[in-house]
Amino acid sequence: MQPILSIRNLGKTYASGFQALKDVDLDIHRGEIFALLGPNGAGKTTLISIVCGIVTASQGKVVADGHDIVRDFRAARSLIGLVPQELSTDAFETVWATVRFSQGLYGKPYDPAHLEKVLRDLSLWDKKDSKIMTLSGGMKRRVLIAKALAHEPRILFLDEPSAGVDVELRHDMWQMVRGLRERGTTIILTTHYIEEAEEMADRIGVINHGELIVVEDKATLMRKLGKKQLTLQLQAPLAAIPEEFSALPLELADEGNALVYTFDVQAAETGIATLLRRLGEHGIDFKDLHSSESSLEDIFVSLVRDGAREVRA
Ligand X SMILES: Nc1ncnc2c1ncn2[C@@H]1O[C@H](COP(=O)(O)OP(=O)(O)OP(=O)(O)O)[C@@H](O)[C@H]1O
- Which chain residues interact with ligand X by CB under 6 A? 14, 16, 18, 20, 38, 40-46
Single-letter amino acid code for the residue at 30? R
* Strand pairing category for 258-264 and 227-234: antiparallel
For ligand X, the closer of residues 85 and 231 by Cβ is 85
For ligand X, the closer of residues 14 and 92 by Cβ is 14
Residue 47 C-beta: closest distance to ligand X, Å: 7
Q: Facing residues of 157 across strands?
A: 82, 188
Please calculate the CA angle 92-95-99 and round it to the nearest 5 degrees: 115
Residue 49 C-beta: closest distance to ligand X, Å: 7
For ligand X, the closer of residues 43 and 205 by Cβ is 43
Residue 267 C-beta: closest distance to ligand X, Å: 34
Cβ contacts of 281 within 8 Å, gap of 6 or more: none
Q: What is the DSSP letter of 94?
A: B
For ligand X, the closer of residues 46 and 103 by Cβ is 46
Crossing angle of helices 296-312 and 218-225, rounded to 10°: 80
Residue 41 C-beta: closest distance to ligand X, Å: 4
For ligand X, the closer of residues 44 and 100 by Cβ is 44
**How many Å apart are CA 41 and CA 209, to the nearest integer?**
7
**Cα 213 vs. chain centroid, distance in angstroms?**
14
Single-letter amino acid code for the residue at 40? N
Residue 148 C-beta: closest distance to ligand X, Å: 17
User: In a 3-state reduction of DSSP, which class is residue 306?
Assistant: helix
Residue 159 C-beta: closest distance to ligand X, Å: 7
For ligand X, the closer of residues 18 and 92 by Cβ is 18
Q: Which of 78, 77, 14, 80 is nearest to 41 (CA)?
A: 14
